[in-house]
Amino acid sequence: MDPILAEVYSTVLPAAPFVIAAYVGIWLALAVYAFVLSRRAKRTERDLDALKQALAAREEKLER
């Protein structure tokens, strides 16, 4: 093997597990963040629907 390549590989390969772990950690964090945002959006949509129903019921009550 070329001595330059041997030096590069000896420098880069020991760090590979840390790089892979960093990428996995970032992707997991992004997936969790997207999941949390999705749940919050669904909850907000449910709350908005409940408010719309309450407003409609109140307007109907006032019209009588």
* End-to-end C-alpha distance for the chain, whole angstroms: 91
Q: pLDDT tens-digit profile of 18-54?
A: 999 999 999 999 999 999 999 999 999 999 999 999 9
Confidence (pLDDT) at 30: 99
The answer, yes or no, to whether residue 64 has pLDDT greater than 80, is: no
Integer Cα distance of 56 and 62 in angstroms = 10
Please name which of 38, 62, 9, 33 lies closest in space to residue 54, comparing C-alpha atoms. Answer: 62
For the chain, give every domain's residue range: 20-63
Confidence (pLDDT) at 47: 98
